[in-house]
Chains A and B, each alone.
Chain A
Amino acid sequence: MRTFLTVLTGALFGTGIAMSGMANPAKVINFFDVAGSWDPSLAFVMGGAVIVTFIGYRLVLRRPKPVFEPTFDIPTNRTLDAKLLTGAATFGVGWGIAGFCPGGALPALGTLDSRVMVFVAALIAGMFVTRLLMNWATPRTQPAE
């Protein structure tokens, strides 16, 4: 039941992405092309998603715990550091070049479109290399989980 409802949650996300236009790089790039063929649609995606999540989280987080888990697992780090900002800046350059973000591309992978597969393969390669370098740069004194 727990896994089934999680699959349904993923399907809700994937259907929202498909409907919103976030899986379409031409539309994503046009959102950012204010000086050219501007298409403001994606502001409505972000606006709708953030407002629903803002209200929903406030209701859900009143509960002592989630339905299927012992605790809520929410990031607690609040410090801005160079790693965060460098990463976000790099992500933006890649998003502007390719037009896919991870959340847009993963549902689109369901169509088996070869261009989406190429993007996701490159995305995973980038993640892999970065994880290797990060592990190498910060040797762990304790074993990983």
Chain B
Amino acid sequence: METSFTPLASLGGGILIGCAAVCLMLLRGRIMGATGILSGAIWPASRYDWTWRAAMLAGMFAGPWIYFALTGALPEIEVPSATPLLIFGGLLVGVGVTLGSGCTSGHGVCGMARLSPRSFAATATFMLTTGLTVYVIRHVLGG
């Protein structure tokens, strides 16, 4: 499945993601990690702790619709994997981000930006295993 190279939109999106991370630190003093926001919204440590995460999630859900208002189209979502693989992948992501205390936003963006050695190690590890997995699925198994 080919996708077109979109350097400007991707850079613009990345800058907005960075601005959101900075805003969350400025306003609430928190790292913006999707894993922590989701798990803390489902299994909150306290009611107060739940509120900011639920607020972030509500805003995040509005994101595609703000994009729609700006561009006239919802973002493209093309899923190459069949449903059983999507479920298997989702389970592995859930296990991995819980054990590894974070994902692309928490480790890859916020953690690397604050030069955390754990986040550098985690990001290097998951980028490597994601690349190997895609290689095996596409070029060894021929999916």
Residues of chain A whose beta carbon lies under 8 Å from any beta carbon of chain B: 2-3, 5-27, 29-30, 32-37, 39-42, 44-54, 56-57, 59-61, 63, 65-69, 71-75, 77-80, 83-104, 106-111, 113, 115-116, 118-131, 134, 144-145
Cβ of A9 and Cβ of B126 under 8 Å apart?
A: no
Using CB atoms, name the residue of chain A closest to B21: A53
A-B contact pairs, 6 of them (CB 8 A): A25-B81, A44-B10, A53-B110, A68-B27, A102-B97, A111-B75
Using CB atoms, name the residue of chain B closest to A30: B3
Shortest distance in angstroms between B101's beta carbon and chain A's nearest beta carbon?
7
Shortest distance in angstroms between A135's beta carbon and chain B's nearest beta carbon?
11
Cβ of A87 and Cβ of B98 under 8 Å apart?
A: yes
With A and B bound together, what is the CA distance between A55 and B43 in angstroms?
32
Using CB atoms, name the residue of chain A closest to B123: A88
Is chain A's binding surface mostly helix, strand, loop or mixed?
helix
Cβ of A116 and Cβ of B103 under 8 Å apart?
A: no
Q: A39 and B4 in contact (CB under 8 A), knowing A16-B14, A99-B79, A102-B93?
A: yes
Shortest distance in angstroms between A17's beta carbon and chain B's nearest beta carbon?
6
Cβ of A6 and Cβ of B28 under 8 Å apart?
A: yes
Cβ of A91 and Cβ of B97 under 8 Å apart?
A: yes
Cβ of A20 and Cβ of B21 under 8 Å apart?
A: no
Cβ of A49 and Cβ of B138 under 8 Å apart?
A: no
With A and B bound together, what is the CA distance between A128 and B94 in angstroms?
8
Residue interface mask B33-55, A partner, CB < 8 A = 1: 11101110011011000011001
Shortest distance in angstroms between B113's beta carbon and chain A's nearest beta carbon?
4
